Copies of this chain bind each other. A is one copy, B any other.
Amino acid sequence: MNKQSIKLSVDAVVFGYEEGIISVLLIKRKYEPFKGKWAIPGGFVLNDETLECAVERELQEETGIKINYLEQLYSFGDPERDPRGRIVSIAYFGLVRPNAFKIFASTDASEVEWFNIKELPELSFDHENILDLAIKRLQGKITYEPIGFELLDKKFPFSDLEKLYVTLLGRDIDRRNFRKKIISFNVLDELNEKVSKGSGRPANLFQFNKKRYFQLKKEGIIFEI
Closest residue on chain B to residue A85 by CB atoms: B47
Residues in B with CB closer than 8 Å to A88 are 8, 45, 51, 90
- Structural contact, B75 and A2, CB atoms closer than 8 A: no
Residues in B with CB closer than 8 Å to A1 are 44
A6 adjacent to chain B (CB < 8 Å): yes
Residues of A1-43 whose CB lies within 8 A of B: 1-2, 4-8
Residues in B with CB closer than 8 Å to A193 are none
6 cross-chain pairs, A with B, having the tightest CB-CB distances, nearest first: A51-B77, A75-B75, A6-B8, A75-B90, A48-B79, A47-B86
Distance in angstroms from A53 CB to nearest chain B CB is 9
Residues in B with CB closer than 8 Å to A119 are none
Residues in B with CB closer than 8 Å to A8 are 4, 6, 8, 88
Residues in B with CB closer than 8 Å to A75 are 51, 72, 75, 90
Assuming the contacts A4-B44, A74-B72, asked whether A49 and B90 have C-beta atoms less than 8 A apart, the reply is: no
Residues of A75-127 whose CB lies within 8 A of B: 75, 77-79, 86, 88, 90
- Structural contact, A48 and B86, CB atoms closer than 8 A: yes
- In the bound assembly, the distance between CA atoms of A46 and B51 in angstroms comes to 21
Q: How many monomers of this protein are in the complex?
A: 2
**Would you give 12 A-B contacts (Cβ < 8 Å), ordered by A?**
A4-B7, A4-B47, A5-B47, A6-B8, A8-B88, A45-B77, A47-B86, A48-B79, A48-B86, A51-B88, A72-B75, A75-B90
Residues in B with CB closer than 8 Å to A5 are 47
- Structural contact, B45 and A6, CB atoms closer than 8 A: yes
Of B50, B74, B77, B79, which one neighbours A77 at CB under 8 angstroms?
A: B50
Of B2, B4, B50, B90, which one neighbours A79 at CB under 8 angstroms?
A: B50
- Structural contact, B78 and A46, CB atoms closer than 8 A: no
- In the bound assembly, the distance between CA atoms of A49 and B78 in angstroms comes to 8
Of residues A4, A7, A44, A72, which shows the largest number of chain B Cβ atoms within 10 Å of its Cβ? A4
Residues in B with CB closer than 8 Å to A2 are 46-47
Residues in B with CB closer than 8 Å to A6 are 7-8, 45, 47
